[in-house]
């Protein structure tokens, strides 16, 4: 049930609902910790789909969590970008590319419009622009897959880092040879 509900959500992973992504929000709805109308990206039509799925009365969006907006994408003013990589770290679907001390750019076809890249930018060179053709927005299933792939990569990197540190500590303590 949680997975089916998660699939109804927009997969922006924006956190506007008060949870750290669409799946935690779906879990909270199922457990009764959250109401069905806390997702601004879903809007009233998305909330109606959730209500129908759960067989509960529909509600209007609770604007305490934000307003429903038309689909938009992040745009980086590349002439201003200092390459701090804070936006890359914030993007839940790896839609921003670049490297440290070089300018970054948004892969428009991958951006979910979550706006999570805006706050960490120290020079305010990121803005949101309406998507000219909303049909070009990534599908929910595509965005979900990118998000899950990012999480898996981050988990693998954390495990590898822990192992590197463990080996380094053992070498420093003289427990492992350098062969």
pLDDT of residue 176: 55
pLDDT of residue 175: 65
- Which tokens hold the place of 60? 């209007």
Architecture of domain 70-158: 2-Layer Sandwich (3.30)
Residue 179 scores a pLDDT above 80: no
Length of the chain: 179
Average pLDDT over residues 82-94: 95
Rounded to two decimals, what is the model's pTM?
0.82
Architecture of domain 2-65: Orthogonal Bundle (1.10)
Average pLDDT over residues 21-44: 96
- Which tokens hold the place of 173? 């303590």
pLDDT digits (tens, 9 = 90+) for 97-106: 988 888 899 9
Exposed/middle/buried for residue 161 (C-beta within 10 Å: 0-12, 13-18, 19+) = exposed
Exposed/middle/buried for residue 66 (C-beta within 10 Å: 0-12, 13-18, 19+) = middle
Domain 2-65 and domain 70-158 have a common topology: no
Show the beta-strand stretches assigned E in 13-156.
72-76, 96-97, 105-106, 126-130
Confidence of residue 178 (pLDDT cuts 50, 70, 90): low
Residue 134 scores a pLDDT above 90: no
For residue 95, give the 3-state DSSP assignment.
coil
CA distances from 11 to 84, 140, 173, 178 (A): 26, 6, 46, 47
Looking at the DSSP bridge assignments, the partners of residue 133 are: none
pLDDT digits (tens, 9 = 90+) for 34-73: 999 999 999 999 999 999 999 999 999 999 999 999 889 9
**What is the rounded distance in angstroms from the CA atom of residue 147 to the CA atom of residue 71?**
18
Average pLDDT over residues 74-85: 94
Exposed/middle/buried for residue 3 (C-beta within 10 Å: 0-12, 13-18, 19+) = exposed
- Which tokens hold the place of 68? 């429903």
Q: Which has the minimum average pLDDT: 53-57, 135-139, 160-164?
A: 135-139
pLDDT of residue 99: 86
Boundaries of every domain in the chain: 2-65, 70-158
Contact between 167 and 174 (Cβ < 8 Å): no
Residue 161 scores a pLDDT above 90: yes
């Amino acid at each position: 049930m949680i997975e089916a509900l998660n699939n109804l959500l927009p997969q922006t992973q924006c956190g506007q609902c008060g949870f750290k992504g669409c799946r935690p929000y779906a879990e909270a709805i199922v457990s009764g910790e959250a109401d069905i109308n806390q997702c601004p990206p879903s809007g009233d039509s998305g909330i109606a789909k959730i209500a129908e799925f759960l067989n509960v009365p529909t509600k209007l969006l609770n604007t305490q969590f934000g307003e429903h907006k038309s689909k938009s994408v992040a745009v980086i003013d590349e002439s201003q970008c200092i390459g701090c990589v804070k936006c890359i770290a914030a993007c839940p679907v790896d839609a921003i590319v670049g490297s440290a001390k070089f300018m970054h750019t948004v892969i428009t076809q991958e951006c979910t419009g979550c706006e999570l890249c805006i706050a960490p930018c120290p020079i305010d060179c990121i803005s949101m622009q309406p998507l000219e053709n909303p049909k070009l927005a990534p599908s929910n299933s595509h965005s979900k897959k990118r998000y899950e792939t990012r999480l898996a990569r981050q988990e693998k990197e954390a495990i590898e880092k822990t192992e590197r540190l463990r080996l380094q500590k053992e070498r420093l303590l003289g427990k492992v040879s350098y062969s």
